[in-house]
Amino acid sequence: MKLYYSPGACSLSPHIVLREAGLPFQLELASTKTHKLKDGTDYYSINSKGYVPLLELDDGQRLSEGPAIVQYIADQVPAKQLAPANGSMQRYRLQEWLNFITSELHKGFSPLFNPAMPDEAKAIYRAKLQERFKWVDQQLQGRSYLMGEHFTVADAYLFTVANWAPHVAVDLSGLATFAAWRERVRARPSVQAALEAEGLVK
């Protein structure tokens, strides 16, 4: 398999999950600024959406959208318990988390990275994100991970998105349970390996 990624972008989530899964894969850098690969290939010719992540399977099929990709990876190694079994209520709970992270957190950060967005609007988005993260902090109380005691693909996605907060002045201080969860995830060997491979830690 080949994962098209950009350092620190939402592609970090499937990158972490691939390492958790222990599956063989290649990393292919796709710049979010130039939309070109290292060899100059136009990334739009590979993914017409132009953004990461994109997972290329060994048979040549390509899968886009992070929440779909991480569930696909998890289903290749069910024994790892990265996602509950398909059709179970717990699987729908996982999808509930993935949908929340996608729509309420991930997309909430997008305007903050847009230099054309007025400061007044950015303040509204920051306040909404802080409110959402406060809710996540409450949900994590009494749990090691989002789904309970097992690390899942939802944790990888939330960790990735939360990493953007300091870059766009979203204050997450005071969320003690969330901070403890974040350190727990960061300490996982798969997470450390992914961060190192993307040049995000020294």
pTM for the predicted model, two decimal places: 0.97
Indicate if 149 and 68 belong to the same structural domain. no
Task: State residue 185's pLDDT score.
Answer: 98
Indicate if 8 and 26 belong to the same structural domain. yes
> What is the domain range of residue 141?
89-188
Strand partners, 3: 27, 55
What average pLDDT does this structure show over 166-180?
97
Task: State residue 44's pLDDT score.
Answer: 96
CATH number for the domain including 48? 3.40.30.10
Indicate if 94 and 184 belong to the same structural domain. yes
Residue 159, domain member (yes or no): yes
Q: Residue 147 half-sphere exposure, CB side, CA atoms within 13 Å?
A: 23
Question: CA triplet 164, 162, 122: central angle to 5 degrees?
Answer: 55
Q: Are 63 and 55 in contact (CB under 8 A)?
A: yes
Query: Which segments of 60-156 are extended strands (E)?
Result: 62-64
What pLDDT, in 10s, does the model give residues 12-24?
999 999 999 999 9
- Could you tell me which residue, 33 or 106, shows the higher pLDDT? 106
What average pLDDT does this structure show over 23-37?
95
Give dist(CA 4, CA 105) in Å, integer. Answer: 22
Task: State residue 202's pLDDT score.
Answer: 73
Task: State residue 199's pLDDT score.
Answer: 96
What pLDDT, in 10s, does the model give residues 148-163?
999 999 999 999 999 9
Indicate if 180 and 114 belong to the same structural domain. yes
CATH number for the domain including 101? 1.20.1050.10
Share of the chain above pLDDT 90, in %: 98
Indicate if 20 and 60 belong to the same structural domain. yes
Residue 76, domain member (yes or no): yes
Indicate if 68 and 103 belong to the same structural domain. no
Indicate if 110 and 181 belong to the same structural domain. yes
What average pLDDT does this structure show over 27-40?
94
Indicate if 25 and 110 belong to the same structural domain. no
Residue 202, domain member (yes or no): no
What pLDDT, in 10s, does the model give residues 80-124?
999 999 999 999 999 999 999 999 999 999 999 999 999 999 999
Q: Are 160 and 12 in contact (CB under 8 A)?
A: yes
Report the domain count for the chain.
2
What pLDDT, in 10s, does the model give residues 175-202?
999 999 999 999 999 999 999 999 998 7
Indicate if 123 and 180 belong to the same structural domain. yes
DSSP string for 19-80: HHHT---EEEEB-TTT-BBTT--BGGGT-TT--S-EEE-TTS-EEESHHHHHHHHHHH-GGG
Indicate if 96 and 29 belong to the same structural domain. no
Residue 129, domain member (yes or no): yes
150-185 exposure pattern, b = at least 16 Cβ within 10 A, e = fewer: ebbbbbbbbbbbbebbeeeebebeebeebeebbebb
Amino acid at 77: V
Give dist(CA 125, CA 80) in Å, integer. Answer: 36
